[in-house]
C-alpha cells in the first residue's frame, strides 16, 4: 500500500513537471517568434538607414534628372488618399463637456481602446515614465482618487510625451533613444511585438505649446495615423498613415496647419484637426483642418470652440467608436462629446 501511494505521488509529480515543461516550451516558442519579428524589423530598419546613407556614385549625376525625381517624390508624397471606409462625417461643434476628476500631473494622457470593445481606462501620468495605470471601468477611475483600484503595467522601455494610443488590444507608444521609435506592445501578454524607427530626420516638437510631444499616434475610422514635425518644414505639421500590423508608413502629407500655438491634434474620418490656444492659456479651438481625401474644403470646416476650462490641453484622444474626445487639461480629465455633420464635397 505504501509503495502504491509513493508511486501515485511520483506519477503526480512527474505529470506536474511535464505540464510545467510544456508551458515553458510554449513560452520559449512565443519568445522565439517575437524575436524573429524583431529581427525582421531590424533588417528593414537597417535597409532604411542604408538608403539614407548611400554609397557615393562613381558617375556624374544628371542634375535635371534628379530635379525631376525630387518633384515626382514630392508629388507622390502629397497625392490624394484613397479612403478605406465610407465615413463622410466632420465635427460640427462640441455637444457636451464632462469633467470627471483631477488625477496626477498637470500633463498626461488617458484613453480607452480606440478599436476594441473594452471598457478599460488607460492612464499615462506625466510626460516621461514607464508605468501605465489600468482601471477596469470608468466607474473605478471616477470614484477613487488613489490608484489602489488600478492595475499597473510596467513597460520594457520608458515612454516620452503624450502621443500614445491603445488600439485593438495593443499599446502604441513613443520611445526616445537618440531617434524616436514607435513601440507596439501587446497588452494581453505584456510583450513587445514590434518597433519602428520613425523615418523623419531632425524631428522637432509637433505642437508649439506642447514641447514634450514629438510624435502623436492617433486613430479614427480609417485606422492609425502619426502626427509629427521635422526641421525640413518646421513651420507646419506633417501627417502619415500607419499600417497597424507592421508599423510601416503607407503615405505622408505636408499639411498647411502651423505648429505655432498648436497644443493638440486628432484625426476624424481622414481629416486632421489641429487645436490651438495661446501662450497664456485661453479658449482652445480647432482652427485648421486638413482632409487627406480632399472631400472637405478648408473653408467649409467648422471653427470648433472648446468650453473654457483650466489651462491648456496636454493631450486629446478621439474615440471613433464613441464619437468623443478624452482630454487632459492641467491635471483634469475631461470628456468632450462631439456633434457631427456630413462633409460638403469639393
Higher pLDDT, 169 or 299: 169
pLDDT higher at 237 or 177: 237
The half-sphere exposure of 236 on its side-chain side, counting CA atoms within 13 A, is 13
pLDDT of residue 51 exceeding 80 = no
Average pLDDT value for residue range 108-118: 92
Task: Categorize the per-residue pLDDT at 116 as very low, low, confident or very high, splitting at 50, 70 and 90.
Answer: confident
Question: What mean pLDDT do residues 209-235 have?
Answer: 92
Q: Is the pLDDT of residue 56 over 70?
A: no
Q: What pLDDT score does 60 carry?
A: 40
Task: Quote the pLDDT of residue 46.
Answer: 61
pLDDT of residue 299: 73
d(CA 132, CA 142): 17
Mean pLDDT of 67-92: 66
| Contact criterion met (CB below 8 Å) for 305 and 153 | no
Cell of 79: 497625392
pLDDT at 145 over 70: no
What's the pLDDT score for residue 85?
A: 81
67 band by pLDDT with thresholds 50, 70 and 90 = low
Reported for 186-193, long-range contacts at CB under 8 A and 24+ positions apart, including other chains, are 187/153, 189/30, 190/153, 191/30, 191/31, 191/34, 192/34, 192/38, 192/156, 192/157, 193/34, 193/37
What pLDDT is recorded for position 314?
94
- 281 or 115: whose pLDDT is higher? 115
- pLDDT higher than threshold 70 for residue 65: no
Q: What is the dihedral of CA 283, 284, 288, 293, to 10 degrees?
A: -140
Residue 283 pLDDT exceeds 70: yes
Give the mean pLDDT of 195-210.
Answer: 85
- Are 215 and 161 within 8 A, CB to CB? yes
Query: Taking the CB of residue 189, how many other CB atoms lie within 10 A of it?
Result: 10
pTM confidence score: 0.76
Angle (CA) 117 307 218, round 5°: 40
CB 111 within 8 A of CB 335: no
Beta sheet of 262-268, edge-to-edge order: 262-268, 271-276, 285-291, 304-305
Q: How many CB atoms lie within 10 A of CB 195?
A: 18
Cβ(305)–Cβ(285) under 8 Å?
Answer: yes
**What's the whole-number average pLDDT of the chain?**
85
Nearest-10 Cα torsion for 54, 56, 60, 63: 40
Amino acid at each position: 500500500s505504501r509503495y502504491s501511494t509513493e508511486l501515485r505521488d511520483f506519477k503526480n509529480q512527474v505529470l506536474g513537471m511535464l505540464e510545467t515543461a510544456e508551458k515553458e516550451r510554449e513560452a520559449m516558442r512565443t519568445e522565439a517568434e517575437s524575436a524573429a519579428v524583431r529581427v525582421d524589423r531590424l533588417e528593414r530598419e537597417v535597409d532604411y538607414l542604408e538608403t539614407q546613407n548611400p554609397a557615393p556614385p562613381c558617375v556624374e549625376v544628371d542634375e535635371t534628372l534628379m530635379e525631376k525625381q525630387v518633384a515626382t517624390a514630392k508629388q507622390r508624397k502629397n497625392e490624394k488618399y484613397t479612403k478605406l471606409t465610407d465615413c463622410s462625417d466632420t465635427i460640427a461643434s462640441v455637444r457636451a463637456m464632462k469633467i470627471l476628476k483631477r488625477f496626477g500631473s498637470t500633463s498626461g494622457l488617458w484613453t480607452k481602446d480606440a478599436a476594441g470593445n473594452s471598457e478599460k481606462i488607460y492612464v499615462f501620468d506625466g510626460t516621461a515614465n514607464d508605468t501605465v495605470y489600468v482601471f477596469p471601468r470608468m466607474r473605478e477611475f471616477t470614484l477613487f482618487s488613489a490608484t489602489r483600484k488600478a492595475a499597473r503595467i510596467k513597460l520594457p522601455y520608458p515612454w516620452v510625451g503624450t502621443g500614445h494610443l491603445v488600439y485593438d488590444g495593443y499599446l502604441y507608444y513613443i520611445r526616445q533613444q537618440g531617434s524616436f521609435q514607435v513601440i507596439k506592445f501587446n497588452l494581453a501578454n505584456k510583450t513587445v511585438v514590434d518597433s519602428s524607427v520613425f523615418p523623419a530626420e531632425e524631428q522637432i516638437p509637433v505642437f508649439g505649446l506642447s514641447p514634450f510631444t514629438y510624435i502623436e499616434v492617433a486613430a479614427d475610422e480609417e485606422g492609425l495615423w502619426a502626427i509629427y514635425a521635422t526641421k525640413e518644414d518646421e513651420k507646419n505639421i506633417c501627417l502619415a498613415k500607419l499600417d497597424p500590423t507592421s508599423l510601416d508608413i503607407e503615405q505622408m502629407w505636408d499639411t498647411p496647419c502651423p505648429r505655432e500655438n498648436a497644443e493638440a491634434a486628432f484625426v476624424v474620418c481622414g481629416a486632421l484637426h489641429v487645436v490651438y490656444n495661446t501662450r497664456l492659456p485661453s479658449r482652445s479651438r480647432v482652427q485648421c483642418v486638413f482632409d487627406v481625401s480632399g472631400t472637405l474644403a478648408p473653408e467649409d470646416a467648422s471653427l470648433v470652440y472648446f468650453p473654457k476650462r483650466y489651462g491648456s490641453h496636454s493631450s486629446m484622444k478621439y474615440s471613433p467608436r464613441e464619437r468623443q474626445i478624452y482630454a487632459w487639461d492641467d491635471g483634469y480629465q475631461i470628456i468632450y462629446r462631439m456633434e457631427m455633420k456630413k462633409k460638403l464635397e469639393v
